[in-house]
Amino acid sequence: MRVLLVEDDVSLSSFVDKGLREAGHQVEVIDNGKIALTLCMSEQFDVAIVDRMLPGLDGLSLVKALRAAQIGMPILFLTSLGGVDDRVEGLEAGGDDYLTKPFAFSELLARVTALSRRAGLTSVESKPELVFGDLTLNLFEHTATRQGQLLDLQPKEFRILELFLRHPGRVITRTMLLEHVWDIHFDPQTSVVETHISRLRNKVEKPFGDSLIQTVRGAGYKLEHRGASKEC
């Protein structure tokens, strides 16, 4: 499931982003209401989580604009404005659910799942999958298979592979991997990326005799078929 998180509190958005990804969802984090509105006009999301107090365009105005544009994705307000009038205002603006801060992540996840269920997004037919040739990643079940064989991936390896499958043929830099997989926004000067790429190759490539994860010298890696597997 693809989730749009519109929240300008960096620590909170990082926490929710991490939790949703660990639950198998794809998350797009935006910290500005106006930017979120523009994004929604060109891209599709299954569920949106929206704060009410946002720069650019407040959450209430954002949701009203989305509904006016006939964008019907389920929307959950996540905000510190918890009065009865606030809740009524949010629901009347077009929100489908309303959760106040502070909150338990388990409740947030349950509410997001319930919203997606109402929209018919969790049926067997709509399980989110990423496919590259004979390699399949099921984001709902959090499983990976190749040629029908289940791959025994650790959580970090799964997230690396997910990033590659979302951008096949595109160079994924070491910095991108550190940010998306480890949530590290600086270079720790360790070989953690290289170590995990090596382990992932052993599981995804070696048993099948070909190469999928290519090293791009001086740049990073990319997902691309290249015949017989070679160590890089």
How many angstroms separate the Cα of 193 from the Cα of each of 125, 139, 158, 165, 203? 35, 22, 13, 17, 16
- The model's confidence at residue 120, banded by pLDDT at 50, 70 and 90, is low
Q: What are the two backbone dihedrals, phi and then psi, of residue 137, each rounded to the nearest 5 degrees?
A: -115, 120
Out of 77, 99, 118, pick the residue that ends a domain.
Answer: 118
pLDDT tens digits, one per residue of 11-64: 999 999 999 988 888 999 999 999 999 999 888 899 999 999 999 999 999 999
H helices present in 25-104, as ranges: 33-42, 59-68, 84-92
Tell me the CATH number at 20: 3.40.50.2300
Whether residue 153 has pLDDT greater than 90: yes
Assign residue 81 a region: left if phi > 0, alpha if psi is -120 to 50, beta otherwise? beta
Q: Where is average pLDDT lowest: 8-17, 78-87, 154-163, 169-178?
A: 169-178
* Average pLDDT of the residues in 188-209: 92
How far does CA 46 lie from the centroid of its chain? 11
Please give the model's pTM, rounded to 2 decimal places. Answer: 0.54
Together in a domain, 23 and 100 = yes
Sheet of 172-173: strands edge to edge? 172-173, 220-223, 213-216
Residues 95 and 203 in one domain: no
User: Which residue, of 78, 95, 118, is where some domain finishes?
Assistant: 118
